[in-house]
Amino acid sequence: MKVLDLIKKAKEAQNFSFSPYSKFPVGAILEMKDGNLIKGANIENASYPLSCCAERVALFSARMKGYKKEDIVSLTIVANCDNYCFPCGACRQVISELMPKEAKIYCVNKNGEYLKLSIDDLLPHAFSDGDLK
Ligand code: THU
């Protein structure tokens, strides 16, 4: 799918954000090899640390629909910020485990401009399952 279409869908996902505390809605779209799109938005809580980022909501939702990492093509992240919306450190760790290494990550700014990144760009030298052996 074209990046501009993914950005449009990620903006639609942003409308599902529950972010009364930060007032910073984030939308995410996972593009799957079968053509499906899975949305995520940040879901906050009055107990602030329990909040969950848009990226993790989308990735966990994909798992619950039965998808595996190799089914994912790309992740697009949008927010109303001047800078590109980069995933936080916790999400980078989850992305590195739940997305295939060749997947693309599009970080979008409020003007709809984007950076195309790899998982290794975001989290080089990641801790992984192999390190647990
Ligand atoms: N947030 C995301 O959902 N994704 C990001 O990439 C950055 C931050 C959320 C977490 C919190 O609900 C709000 O944005 C402000 O940090």
CATH number at residue 56: 3.40.140.10
Beta bridge partners of 29: 39, 76
Separation in Å, CA 42 to CA 24, 39, 118, 127: 9, 11, 22, 25
Residue 105 domain flag: yes
Residue 49 domain flag: yes
Tell which residue, 80, 36, 32, has the closest CA to residue 54. 80
Tell which residue, 63, 61, 24, has the closest CA to residue 44. 24
Q: pLDDT digit string (tens) for 38-97?
A: 999 999 999 999 999 999 999 999 999 999 999 999 999 999 999 999 999 999 999 999
User: Which of 15, 19, 39, 42 to mutate for ligand 1's pocket (most ligand atoms within 8 Å of CB)?
Assistant: 42
**At CA 77, angle to CA 95 and CA 117, rounded to 5?**
60
Q: Which domain holds residue 62?
A: 3-125
Residue 13 domain flag: yes
Instruction: Assign 7 a pLDDT band (cuts: 50, 70, 90).
Output: very high
Q: Looking at ligand 1, which residue's alpha carbon is closest to its atom 9?
A: 53
Residue 133 domain flag: no
What is the tally of structural domains in the chain? 1
Residue 67 domain flag: yes
